[in-house]
Amino acid sequence: MNSSAPPYKTEFLLGGLLTLLFLLNISLGSVQIPLGEIFSVLMGRHQHSVQADIIWEFRLPKAFTCILAGASLASSGLMMQTLFRNPLAGPDVLGLSSGASLLVAMVILIGAAGSPCLLQISTNPWSVALAASMGSILVFLLVIAVAQKVKDNASLLIIGLMIGAATSSAVSVLQFLSKAEDLQAFMIWTLGSVGGTGWREIQVLFFVLLLGASISFRSMKSLNALLLGENYAQSIGVNIRWSRFWIVLATSIMVGAVTAFCGPIAFVGLAVPHLVRIWIHTSNHKILLPAVMLAGGSLMLLCDLLAQLPGSTQILPLNAITSLMGAPVVIWVVMRTKSIRV
Amino acid sequence: MVPNTITNALTTLNLTAGYRGPQQVRLFENLNLVLHPGELVCFMGPNGIGKSTLLRTLAGLQPPLSGEIVFPNVPGTQRKENYVSVVLTDRIRTSHLTVYELISFGRYPYLDWTINLSNRDKDIIDRSIAQVNIERLTDKKIDELSDGQMQMVMIARALSQDTPVLLLDEPTAHLDLNNRVEIVNLLRKLSATTGKAILMTTHELELALQTADVVWLATQDKIIKIGAPEDLVLDGSFDRVFNFKGYDLRTGKMGQEAHRGISIHLVGEGPEYVWTKNALERSGFFVLNNGNVEVVIKKENELAWCLSGHPDFKTLASLIAELKKK
């Protein structure tokens, strides 16, 4: 295209931003670790110092989780906005995180209801992850089944939103029937957290992101074509049913995995595509998809950084930070551009 | 007669078009239509009769109720996107797309998932831009364009798809007269120079009559009458379909009743004569060779009208105002 900037200049800038935030994220926190120390620990020196432990066991996994979660959510958000031609769409628009929440609620809130067997399940950390994944998968299957019967994407969007509403109501009922400490456990889960993941979980997140990203890149042509609307997309050879399936699949696995390990993270998937689109003035997914992933990772690192309140031991919930930061930024951006379209 | 599906750009065989659904709605039945290369066809008919639906069926955007659409030399399953390109009434609401990017979407049927444009693709895109004369617009964003410019861009996009058949749904709707004329002339030029078969649905009777090679006229009984535009005028088909009230298609004039007592003998020639006659008849005067009042058109330095007993009139309006007083 003769009007775009030198190729990959934006990706370069974003990559730089990501690296910077990555390093900041690792160095700042309740204990400040200077950059030099970080590099020497990463090189393998000072193996058993306190700083090395903090970095390897806590900060590095957290930082990687931020990057993987941010990239997954941002690319899912972009695909949902394009598929549904709706600037308000985010990764949760199909009801996936709501479905995950429902099954996690079932695990946490009824775990102690009766037998020791159920108690065993509810306290196992992997149970929550498994429950969240199953919740997402069930919603995904439901959405796909409906998608076969529904002609246009707008109908699918409404159905996804209604599934979200239905599962939220079910969760409310469960909350109503539960004990105080279970309620608090569930509420803490809904606040979102990137601190609870170990290296094994990160491997899963990485693999899922790889798979989701591959599918989304393979769908670049369909995504671009959908910018013209379904009629024109069809007229240039896009199979609407198939492209819808792959896009929903990629979104579902990425959102499912992130929700499983981090809880439902608000805002990142919705805001990042808009911020990137307005910064680099393009709607071409060939440029947007990688850019949005890098930006998503950066935003998560930043939010996590702020949630840490450098210097103190106080930690704020992640979702609060993502929303508090994200909402005003999007409002400011919309007011500057006067109209926001996908 | 068996249609020659090899030389026709598009042939339909017993095509029935309409909607499936809880009740099947049949809009057209058993159509055997043909599009020839290099032809500009105007598809006309009353509102709501199903022109857009038929066009979408021909484009492969919705399945026919029965029958087939055949393209030449296509073995096995047909990939419609290589044979038919469309310009629809859908509005494109995406920001941040440049005109060049939008036109390049026409190459998508020929690209793989990496959407890399080869040199040949770029040449075809440049050629489409040149054919539509929009070189100065290529770097603009599509939300900076006027309606007329947008329409030209969508036509360029369809051209870059390089298909033998081009279908347009109401391409001149909502455009001002300049744009309408420009677009219809462009389509005429394209059908003549590129050999494409071009079909457009339209309401614009006058433009269609002047530019179409063939008119498809949709009638109330689910069939389509086909012929040269003038044939359909002379045999009254248009009159039957459109129920013109007071508009005589053959002479191209609204029926006027000459209700004034005087008749005018008009002396003059050329376009000034024609337009003066129109103005007088519109105002209710007969214009006859033995009319009782003589009006002479003078064309020396300026245009003026002479009526004996009055100073020359510089405008038709003032002449007619005076005549009405008699």
Q: Which residues of B touch A341 (CB under 8 A)?
A: 93-95, 143
Cross-strand pairs, B35: B10
Q: Which residues of A touch B78 (CB under 8 A)?
A: none
**Min Cα separation A141/chain B (Å):** 25
* In B109-165, alpha helices (H): 119-132, 147-160
Test A225 with B105 for CB contact under 8 angstroms. Answer: yes
Residue A288 above 80 pLDDT? yes
A225 touches chain B (CB under 8 A): yes
Instruction: Return the SS3 of B18.
Output: strand
Structure tokens given for B221:
């009984």
Angle at alpha carbon of residue A273, lines to A267 and A278, rounded to 5°: 120
A339 touches chain B (CB under 8 A): yes
Test B96 with A283 for CB contact under 8 angstroms. Answer: yes
CB contacts under 8 A, A 203-222 vs B, are 217-221
Residue A6 above 60 pLDDT? no
Amino acid at A243: S
Test B90 with A229 for CB contact under 8 angstroms. Answer: yes
- pLDDT tens digits, one per residue of A21-67: 888 887 776 667 777 777 777 777 666 677 777 777 788 888 899 99
**Mean pLDDT rounded to a whole number for chain A:** 83
A86 touches chain B (CB under 8 A): no
d(CA A36, CA A106): 46
Among B86, B87, B94, most A C-beta atoms within 10 A, so best to mutate, is B94
Structure tokens given for B254:
């609204």
Instruction: Return the number of other C-beta atoms located less than 10 Å from residue B293's C-beta.
Output: 14
**Going edge to edge, which strands form the sheet with B293-299?**
B286-287, B263-267, B293-299, B303-307
Model confidence at A241, pLDDT cuts 50, 70, 90, reads confident
First to last CA, chain A: 20
Phi and psi at A7, nearest 5°, equal: -55, 140
Test A235 with B84 for CB contact under 8 angstroms. Answer: yes
First to last CA, chain B: 65
Domain residue ranges of chain A, discontinuous segments joined by +: 9-337
A248 or A4, greater pLDDT: A248
Among A236, A238, A274, A279, most B C-beta atoms within 10 A, so best to mutate, is A236
Q: Which residues of A touch B113 (CB under 8 A)?
A: 217-221
Q: What is the pLDDT at residue A311?
A: 63
Q: What is the pLDDT at residue A4?
A: 45
- pLDDT tens digits, one per residue of A224-234: 999 999 999 99
ipTM value: 0.81
| Structural domains of chain B, with CATH | 10-248 (3.40.50.300), 263-324 (no CATH)
By the 10 Å C-beta count (0-12 exposed, 13-18 middle, 19+ buried), A1 is classed as middle
Residues of chain B with pLDDT under 50: 76-77
Q: What is the pLDDT at residue B307?
A: 86
Residue A336 above 60 pLDDT? yes
Handedness of CA B98, B102, B104, B108 (dihedral sign): positive
Instruction: Return the SS3 of B87.
Output: strand
Q: pTM to 2 decimals? A: 0.83
3-state secondary structure B165-210: EEEEECCCCCCCHHHHHHHHHHHHHHHHHHCCEEEEECCCHHHHHH
Test B94 with A283 for CB contact under 8 angstroms. Answer: yes
A224 touches chain B (CB under 8 A): yes
Q: Which residues of B touch A218 (CB under 8 A)?
A: 113
Among B52, B89, B96, most A C-beta atoms within 10 A, so best to mutate, is B96
Q: What is the pLDDT at residue A46?
A: 65
Residue A315 above 60 pLDDT? yes
Residue A294 above 90 pLDDT? yes
A22 or A76, greater pLDDT: A76
Instruction: Return the SS3 of B265.
Output: strand
Q: What is the pLDDT at residue A2?
A: 40
Q: Which residues of B touch A232 (CB under 8 A)?
A: 86, 88, 90, 92, 105
Test B105 with A286 for CB contact under 8 angstroms. Answer: no
* Mean pLDDT of the A314-327 span: 82
Phi and psi at B163, nearest 5°, equal: -110, 155
Nearest to A1 among B101, B108, B141 (CB): B101
Test B93 with A225 for CB contact under 8 angstroms. Answer: no
Amino acid at B106: G
- Chains A–B, number of C-beta pairs less than 8 Å apart: 90
By the 10 Å C-beta count (0-12 exposed, 13-18 middle, 19+ buried), A3 is classed as middle
Q: What is the pLDDT at residue B125?
A: 96
**Going edge to edge, which strands form the sheet with B214-218?**
B84-87, B165-169, B197-201, B40-44, B214-218, B224-227
Q: Contact A22/A67 with Cβ under 8 angstroms?
A: yes
- pLDDT tens digits, one per residue of A156-184: 888 888 888 998 899 888 888 888 888 88
Give the chain B residue whose CA is nearest to the CA of A288: B96
**Min Cα separation A57/chain B (Å):** 40
Give the chain B residue whose CA is nearest to the CA of A227: B94
Test A85 with B85 for CB contact under 8 angstroms. Answer: no
Q: What is the pLDDT at residue A273?
A: 92
Test B95 with A339 for CB contact under 8 angstroms. Answer: yes
Q: What is the pLDDT at residue A175?
A: 85
The number of angstroms, rounded, from the C-alpha of A33 to the middle of its chain's C-alpha atoms is 28
Instruction: Return the SS3 of B72.
Output: coil
Phi and psi at A78, nearest 5°, equal: -60, -45
Model confidence at A206, pLDDT cuts 50, 70, 90, reads very high
**Min Cα separation B113/chain A (Å):** 6
Q: Which residues of A touch B111 (CB under 8 A)?
A: 221
Test B101 with A284 for CB contact under 8 angstroms. Answer: yes
**Min Cα separation B111/chain A (Å):** 9
d(CA B47, CA A126): 63
d(CA A232, CA A224): 11
Test B61 with A234 for CB contact under 8 angstroms. Answer: yes
Give the chain A residue whose CA is nearest to the CA of B143: A341
A124 or B278, greater pLDDT: B278
Among B53, B62, B88, B95, most A C-beta atoms within 10 A, so best to mutate, is B95
Model confidence at A81, pLDDT cuts 50, 70, 90, reads very high
B76 or A201, greater pLDDT: A201
**Min Cα separation B17/chain A (Å):** 18
Residue A1 above 50 pLDDT? no
Nearest to B108 among A2, A3, A237 (CB): A237
Among A84, A222, A232, most B C-beta atoms within 10 A, so best to mutate, is A232
Structure tokens given for A179:
């004990």
Q: Which CATH code fits A9-337?
A: 1.10.3470.10
DSSP B15: E
d(CA A200, CA A61): 10
Nearest to A228 among B56, B105, B112 (CB): B105
The number of angstroms, rounded, from the C-alpha of A258 to the middle of its chain's C-alpha atoms is 6
Test A235 with B101 for CB contact under 8 angstroms. Answer: no
d(CA A212, CA A71): 10
Q: What is the pLDDT at residue B299?
A: 83
* Mean pLDDT of the A264-279 span: 88
Model confidence at A5, pLDDT cuts 50, 70, 90, reads very low
A168 or A118, greater pLDDT: A168
d(CA A68, CA A249): 18
- Tally DSSP H helices, then E strands, for chain B: 10, 16
- For residue A202, give the nearest of A64, A75, A25, A294 by alpha carbon: A64
